[in-house]
Amino acid sequence: MNQDNNQKKTENLIDQKEEKDFLAREEIKTMEKDISRLRETEADRERERVSRIKTAEEIARDKEREKLAQRASLERDLAEKEAMAREERIKRMREEREAKKSVSTQIETKKTEAFTGGFRDALKETQAREEEQRKKFLDRIVARAEGREEVPVPPPIPPVIRETPRQAPEPPKIILKKPSLGQKIWIRIVLSLLVLSILALVATFWYWYLAVREKPEITAPINPVAEQKELAIPPPLFSFEGSQTLTLKISQTSEVPTQLLKTLQSTTTLGEISRILIEDTKNTEILGLKELFGSFGITPPDDFYGKLANNATLFVYSQEEGNRLGLVVKTNGQEGLAETMTSWEGTMEESFRGLSELLGKDKPALVSYFKNAKYRETGFRFQTFSRQDLGIVYAIFDDYFILTTSWKSMEKALDKLKEAPLSVENMSLAEKIGQLFFIGINGTTLTEETERLITDIQPGGILLLKKNIINEDQTKKLIQDLQQVSLKNYGIPLFIGVDQEGGEISPVNFIQEQTTQSEIKTAEQAYAVGWSRGEELRALGINLNLAPVLDTAQPGDFVFGRAFQVTDSQASAFAKALIYGQKTASILTAVKHFPGYGEIAFDPEDLLATLDKTPQVGLFETAAEAKPEFVMTSNVIYSEIDPNLPFSFSPEGIKLLKQSVGPDPLIMTDDLPQQSLIDKFSLKGVVTLPIRAGADILTFSNNWETTLGAAVSVLQEAVLNGEITQTRIDDSVFKIIKLKKTYYNL
């Protein structure tokens, strides 16, 4: 019994274990299925998520497409609305036209009906009367036939009252008596004479009218013609000497492209530049910038024309790639012009499409933006259309605006402008102001700082000091570089000066001629010193020597050792001989220091000096006979001349100088940036007072680093605000340019 129970328990345990195993296996299978389904679900979700994932670029493109689609949809909606509005307007116009037509038709119909209705009524009334009269007439006929009544003659139908005209009485018969034979003869004779007289009168009249009569002068026609306008041709802004001028005649601006195309297609000499004049024959004038742009449909910014003069110098330049157009025009001041051009650059290709196609542009530009370039130190902007040197090129140079259609034509225009004849008329105010300054520099070579200084100031001359000079080769190279920078940037050569007095005051210490003025004993020696010194200076490139010293000095004066140590008469002869010697060597001379630093024991550059008496100027008066090109003034107050102002600042002082040496020499001040002068008169006074007094050149050779830039600005402002007249500046610049043209054979 127990054994059976144990066996049953064992079987039950086995069954339970098997059941558990089965359930475990089933559960595992279920879990595997669930995991499989979960993985599939996750995979589907991942695929769905991946399918929705897009790159930023695709999203951006989609957004851009959506924007474009929205814009297109908006434009389409606007177009549809506009079309519907246009159709509605057309419909209203048609309805209004139909209504007007209907009203006019009704009015015409009413008028016609009114007219025809009245006519019909009258016709019916007339027919009724006729019918009634016929009936009465027939009734009478019948009555007469029956013997009842005689039928009278019926009245005319319709009754018309006619007035019988009166018969005019017959005129009385006139019985003419036949003329006799004699009377007939006399009548014929009289008639013949009458006819002959008439013929004679007619013949006489025509003879007088055709041959004898003086034809009357027509003083004024019935329709007076306006006086013929004289064609005014503006002067070119640069020289076309040796080149032809092409005149294109048009009657309206629409003819300009055709005429220019013929010119561009004509055969020209390679490298030739020719001026083009477009004459409007209808208005008798040369087309200006605005009319020229208008003929090609070029629309610049609103403020463009206001910044430029209208008279443009139009030219065609022949280059290997073909003929190219260009123009030069004066600016009304450069302020804002560069900004205006920059704002226009984005649409200039489209604006110049007509002109560009005329020159052969048939494709979009190679480059869609403008770049910077430079030629002969002048910057310009350009956009290239094709590899055939075709595009838009413009530059703002001094007070000129240049616009060309190729790089090479821009270079040619700049060459022409920089090679323009040296004259005051062609100079800007900045160039004129620069010519009035005689400045110092730093260093023994041309540094970027010095190059920038010359470019900005545009000085008339440079004074080389001992610190700038080492040896012959270095000095030559420095001077060549200085001249090259000046000529490249503003086309005017420099005065290159030194204080080569001999002895201690000899910045060029390696030349052989070192004789001091105090060592000169004869006029012949003075001439030889001047000539020998001048030859050596000129070989270096120096063209101006600030010597001789003509101060009347006594022992103890700070300039005594630098002056002649002889009698006044001998000093006069020596001074003239020394100047003549330098002239023979082609060296310009500046005599100094008028009226003199005599009786001053200290250097007046360190401290402002005042003298009660004016030094003797006889030596300067005699030396003037040798015609020195410059006279340097002193910065001393001479109480007898002007108790308040240094000589260089005083109108009375400059007046005395001109009375003593004449009006021809250029008047040059001694060094001005002295602290004693600036403290007493301010920098503005130091700069403006000498110019107002009549000085021509302002010397800034020492301590210029902190004063020169401001000095130039102060002087320019004084001219612009009217403190110093333009004429005063022009007078000095004219003398400077005249001397440079003579010396350099310009």
DSSP per position, 30-42: HHHHHHHHHHHHH
Please give the pLDDT value at position 117: 58
Tokens for 334, please give them.
């450069």
Q: Closest Cα partner for 526 from 465, 475, 589, 463?
A: 589
630, β-bridge pairs: 590, 666
Element (H, E) at 111: helix 56-145
pLDDT class of 380 with cuts at 50, 70, 90: very high
Give me the mean pLDDT over the 255-262 stretch: 88
Domain borders along the chain are 245-421, 437-744
C-beta of residue 635 within 8 angstroms of C-beta of residue 678: no
Q: If phi over 0 gives left and psi between -120 and 50 gives alpha, with beta otherwise, what is residue 336?
A: left
Instruction: Output 431 or 43, whichever has higher pLDDT.
Output: 431
Distance CA 645, CA 667 (A): 17
Residue 145 pLDDT > 60: no
Number of Cβ within a 10 Å radius of residue 368: 10
Distance CA 276, CA 326 (A): 10
Give me the mean pLDDT over the 649-663 stretch: 96
Give me the mean pLDDT over the 711-722 stretch: 96
Residue 221 pLDDT > 50: no
Give me the mean pLDDT over the 528-535 stretch: 97
Helix (H, G, I), strand (E, B), or coil: what is residue 561? Answer: helix
Q: Closest Cα partner for 545 from 499, 511, 576?
A: 499
Distance CA 552, CA 33 (A): 126
Give me the mean pLDDT over the 27-44 stretch: 71
Please give the pLDDT value at position 28: 66
C-beta of residue 588 within 8 angstroms of C-beta of residue 605: no
Number of Cβ within a 10 Å radius of residue 416: 20
Determine which of 95-99, 144-148, 315-319, 339-343 has the lowest per-residue pLDDT on average.
144-148
Instruction: Output 264 or 52, whichever has higher pLDDT.
Output: 264
Give Cα 529 to chain centroid, integer Å: 54
Give me the mean pLDDT over the 361-381 stretch: 87
Please give the pLDDT value at position 386: 85
Determine which of 42-51, 186-195, 646-655 has the lowest per-residue pLDDT on average.
42-51
What is the torsional sign of CA 133, 135, 140, 141?
positive
Residue 582 pLDDT > 80: yes
pLDDT class of 225 with cuts at 50, 70, 90: very low
pLDDT class of 126 with cuts at 50, 70, 90: low
pLDDT class of 32 with cuts at 50, 70, 90: low
Ranges of beta strands (E only) in 165-259 are 245-250
- Please enumerate in sequence order all residues whose Cβ is within 8 A of that of 709, keeping only pairs 6 or more positions apart, or say none: 456, 457
DSSP 8-state secondary structure symbol assigned to residue 427: -
Distance CA 404, CA 319 (A): 13
Helix (H, G, I), strand (E, B), or coil: what is residue 219? Answer: coil
Tokens for 61, please give them.
């493109």
Q: How deeply is 369 buried, as exposed, middle or buried, from its count of CB atoms within 10 A (0-12, 13-18, 19+)? A: exposed
pLDDT class of 87 with cuts at 50, 70, 90: confident
pLDDT class of 603 with cuts at 50, 70, 90: confident
Distance CA 71, CA 266 (A): 49
Q: Does domain 437-744 have CATH number 3.20.20.300?
A: yes
Please give the pLDDT value at position 677: 93
Query: Which residue type, as a one-letter code, is found at position 241?
Result: E
Tokens for 342, please give them.
């920059």
Please give the pLDDT value at position 174: 46
- Residue 136 CA: distances (Å) to CA of 126, 131, 141, 145, 160: 15, 9, 9, 14, 19
pLDDT class of 213 with cuts at 50, 70, 90: low
pLDDT tens digits along 397-446: 888 899 999 989 998 898 888 765 567 777 889 999 999 999 999 999 99
Tokens for 85, please give them.
């509005």
Distance CA 173, CA 176 (A): 9
pLDDT class of 7 with cuts at 50, 70, 90: low
Whether residue 158 is preceded by a cis peptide bond, meaning omega within 30 degrees of 0, is yes
- Please enumerate in sequence order all residues whose Cβ is within 8 A of that of 550, keeping only pairs 6 or more positions apart, or say none: 563, 571, 575, 591, 592, 593, 594, 596, 619, 620, 623
Give me the mean pLDDT over the 646-651 stretch: 96
- Please enumerate in sequence order all residues whose Cβ is within 8 A of that of 370, keeping only pairs 6 or more positions apart, or say none: 345, 381, 382, 383, 392
DSSP for 414-434, please give it: HHHHHTS---GGG--HHHHHH
Q: Which residue has the tokens 């328990």?
A: 9
Residue 457 pLDDT > 80: yes
Helix (H, G, I), strand (E, B), or coil: what is residue 161? Answer: coil
pLDDT class of 656 with cuts at 50, 70, 90: very high
Number of Cβ within a 10 Å radius of residue 10: 10
- Please enumerate in sequence order all residues whose Cβ is within 8 A of that of 291, keeping only pairs 6 or more positions apart, or say none: 253, 280
C-beta of residue 436 within 8 angstroms of C-beta of residue 460: yes
Helix (H, G, I), strand (E, B), or coil: what is residue 513? Answer: coil
372, β-bridge pairs: 381
Residue 215 pLDDT > 60: no
Helix (H, G, I), strand (E, B), or coil: what is residue 120? Answer: helix
Please give the pLDDT value at position 57: 62
Residue count of the chain: 746
Distance CA 419, CA 416 (A): 5
Give me the mean pLDDT over the 28-57 stretch: 69
Query: Which residue type, as a one-letter code, is found at position 144?
Result: R
pLDDT tens digits along 667-713: 999 999 988 899 999 999 999 999 999 999 999 998 888 899 999 99
Q: How deeply is 20 buried, as exposed, middle or buried, from its count of CB atoms within 10 A (0-12, 13-18, 19+)? A: exposed
Residue 23 pLDDT > 70: no
Please give the pLDDT value at position 143: 65
Distance CA 199, CA 196 (A): 5
Query: Which residue type, as a one-letter code, is found at position 679?
Result: D
C-beta of residue 141 within 8 angstroms of C-beta of residue 162: no
Residue 379 pLDDT > 70: yes
Number of Cβ within a 10 Å radius of residue 285: 15
Give me the mean pLDDT over the 310-321 stretch: 90
Task: Provide the CB-side half-sphere exposure for 473 (13 A, CA).
Answer: 0
DSSP 8-state secondary structure symbol assigned to residue 123: H
Q: Closest Cα partner for 608 from 652, 653, 671, 555?
A: 671
Determine which of 141-150, 327-336, 337-346 has the lowest per-residue pLDDT on average.
141-150
Ranges of beta strands (E only) in 505-653 are 544-545, 588-594, 610-611, 630-633, 637-638
Please give the mean pLDDT across all residues of the chain: 83
Q: Which residues of 493-503 are buried (b: 16+ CB within 10 A; e: fewer)?
A: bbbbbbbbbbe
Residue 218 pLDDT > 60: no
Instruction: Output 602 or 308, whichever has higher pLDDT.
Output: 308
pLDDT class of 17 with cuts at 50, 70, 90: low
Distance CA 690, CA 673 (A): 13
